[in-house]
Every structure is written in C-alpha cells, then in structure tokens.
Amino acid sequence: MIKLTNISKRYGEGEQAVHAVRNINLDVAAGQIMGVIGESGAGKSTLIRCVNMLERPTEGCVLVDGQDLTLLNNSELPTARRNIGMIFQHFNLLSSRTVFANIALPLELAGMNKAAIKQRVNELLELVGLSHRAEAYPNALSGGQKQRVAIARALAPNPKVLLCDEATSALDPQTTQSILTLLKDINRQLGLTILLITHEMHVVKTICDRVAIISDGELIEQGDVAWFFANAKTELARRFISSTINLDIPEEYQQRLVAEPLAGALPLVRLGFSGETVDSPLISILSRELNVDVSILSADMEYAGGVKFGFMLAELDGVPAQTQAALAYLRDHKIQVEVLGYVRRHG
Ligand SMILES: Nc1ncnc2c1ncn2[C@@H]1O[C@H](COP(=O)(O)OP(=O)(O)OP(=O)(O)O)[C@@H](O)[C@H]1O
C-alpha cells in the first residue's frame, strides 16, 4: 500500500546541508500497522511527512496505493491526499470550530452536500466515541478527546492510509492506551493501513505488526515485531527493547555473581523466548526429566504481533553435567540462552 524507494531528504545546500533522511526503502502492506522508531532528530517526522508530500523528498519515489506522489504537481496533490489521513502529536484542531465542524471540514472542502456531511460526521463521532461532544469546542476537551476528534477528521474522506506523527506522545499512559486501542480497532474494522512514527517502544509493542528503526536518517533494521524483540541485532534496537523490559539482576544477586563456574556456584541465565520458541512446558521438563531445579528471579513475558515472547532470569540448580544438558535442551527448543555468571551460595 505504501512503498518508499530510495527516499532521501536534504534541507539546505552545500556545507550547511542537513541530510535528514537518507536512501530509505520501506514497504507497508495493505492492512498492516508499521511503526518507525528512532531517537530525537533521527529523521522520523521528515520521513512520514515525505509520504504525503508535506515534505517533497530530494530523491526517490513514494507510491501510495500504486500512485507515485512525487510525479504530482501542487494542484494534483490535494486529490491524491484524500487517500492519506494524518494525525499529529498536538492534534492541530481549529479552535474556532466545534468538534462537529472540525470533522466536517475536509468533507466541506471536497464539496460534499450538507445532509451527507451530517450523516458521515455522525458516523465518525460514533466510531471515536464522541457523539455526546459534537457541539463542544476543542478547548473544552481532554488531550485524548482531542486526538479522537483528529482521528475522526483524518478518517472523514475514507482514506486507505493513516499516518500518525507521534500521535500519543502528548498523552498520559492511560489515554495513550485508549488511543492505541482505538487505532487498532479502526485498523481491523476498516482494513486501514497505518504508518506511525514514535520514540516509544511501548507503542510499537502494543499495536504494530512490523517495526523499522531509524538512526541518523537511515533505516538500520526492520522486521516483524515479535521477531524484532527476540532477534534485533543493532545496539540501538536492543536499547529500545530493554526500555520496555524490566529484567535487572537484584542487588543481592549481583554481589554473589562471579564470572567463572566456581565449585558449587549456580549458573544465572537469561532466557529469551521468541515466536520461534517451541511451545511446551520447558521448565517442568527441566526439573522432572533432567533433574535441574529452576528458580525464577524475574520474568517479563509479553504478547505482541500475535506471538508470545519475553525474557526470564533464572538460576539453574543441578550437577554440572545435568545443568549443561538443560542448557542444550533449552537451545534445542529455540530459546536464547545467555549465561550471565555464576551465583555463589550463601555462607
Ligand atoms: N525544515 C527543516 N530545515 C532544516 N533542517 C531540518 C528541518 N526539519 C528537520 N530538520 C533536521 O532534520 C533532522 C531530522 O529531523 P526530524 O524532525 O525529521 O527528526 P525526528 O526523528 O522526527 O525528531 P523528533 O523526534 O525530535 O521530532 C534534524 O537534524 C533536524 O534538525
């Protein structure tokens, strides 16, 4: 549905030039939710604004629903943009218009008659759960309600694509969750393709099917969300992932942790479960069949992209040969195993 080929965007010329986006290739299939994540200044806003030509790329080609937008002139763009809705971090509502009139605006601009506008706006108000606030002005709404109005306005012309530019960054965690749930519902109900940019891995984990990571204007890694959590290679990706997972080694264990397998010290392992992990009761098999007791220190298991994944910190207690057999068994079952060290017993 969206296909970006060799997109670059340069601001300015010569030595002053800023290469905000460099040579980016990205495909978003119809009906998919794709998240682009990166740190501040990485080029996320520039990239998403290139998709609807709010910024014209310096190079490359932008196909949306088969149409190359870079070939259109400024008078042809407004019609093509009806296929592409967009929402923003700060909502961008018109404060002098009511909720109803904000949502009606793109329909008025498209020349729709009053009765049809009324029907469509009422449908949209219902979709975003704001029928009771139709006559309110934006100033009287909460941040979450404002974003709901912005979503309704973006959906008014029945676009095939929705672009979300840090759409939840100005919202508290609970409101963020409700907006993400709404976006996912809309994606399912309407088959809408969504491209979002964010600096929060939580957003990606909650609603995206695929994720791409951008650093210094370049896409450095991309993949299905569940795969990405378990397999991402770049340090930046791993940093984003650990920001959503709390697996610190408790202080008391840190003090007893040594690098070498001293006699009597037990291996402390970090187990990574991914979409590839074989779904069987591994922990009970270790204790029942391999005689290794597993003491779980902490675990953070998640469900994202339709797949269970997560991490666990555990101590393995058994004689060395059995512990080795247990580690091999886990690896055979596609669990990532990392021995973090060996924990000396008390005393
Ligand atoms: N209109 C502009 N003129 C010149 N430089 C720009 C312009 N817009 C963005 N840049 C520069 O391009 C780079 C990428 O900016 P961009 O806003 O796309 O990053 P971002 O990842 O969205 O950052 P943030 O999360 O902080 O919004 C930055 O170095 C920025 O200073």
Give 148's pLDDT tier (boundaries 50, 70, 90): very high
Of the listed ranges 135-139, 155-159, 226-230, the least confidently predicted one is: 226-230
What pTM does this model have? 0.79
pLDDT of residue 20 exceeding 80, the answer is yes
Residue type, 331: R
Under 8 Å between Cβ of 201 and 168:
no
Give the residue with greater pLDDT, 15 vs 162: 162
Count of residues for the chain? 347
Q: How crowded is the C-beta side of 308, counted as CA atoms within 13 Å?
A: 10
Q: Which atom of ligand 1 is nearest to the CA of 46?
A: 18
Give 133's pLDDT tier (boundaries 50, 70, 90): very high
Binding-site residues, ligand 1, Cβ < 6 A:
11, 18, 20, 38, 40-46, 199
Three-class SS state of 127: helix
- Ligand 1: residue of 16, 19, 44 to mutate (most ligand atoms within 8 A of CB) is 44
Report pLDDT for 220: 94
Of the listed ranges 29-43, 91-105, 236-250, the least confidently predicted one is: 236-250
- Nearest-CA residue for ligand 1 atom 31 is 41
Residue type, 347: G
What is the Å distance from ligand 1's center to 115 Cα? 42
Of the listed ranges 90-94, 258-262, 300-304, the least confidently predicted one is: 300-304
Give 232's pLDDT tier (boundaries 50, 70, 90): confident
Q: Are strands 257-258 and 67-68 parallel, antiparallel or unpaired?
A: unpaired
Q: What is the mean pLDDT of the chain?
A: 90
Q: Which residue has the tokens 């030595």?
A: 15
Q: Which residue has the tokens 């108000």?
A: 125
Torsions phi, psi for 206 (to 5 deg)? -75, -40
Q: What percent of the chain has pLDDT over 90?
A: 67
Torsions phi, psi for 6 (to 5 deg)? 50, 45
Q: How far apart are CA 176 and CA 189, in angstroms?
A: 20
- Residue 287, exposed/middle/buried by CB under 10 A (0-12, 13-18, 19+)? middle
Q: How far apart are CA 183 and CA 206, in angstroms?
A: 11
Under 8 Å between Cβ of 59 and 34:
no
Report pLDDT for 193: 97
The radius of gyration of the chain from alpha carbons, rounded to an integer in Å, stands at 25
Tokens for 2?
């969206």
What is the Å distance from ligand 1's center to 20 Cα? 6
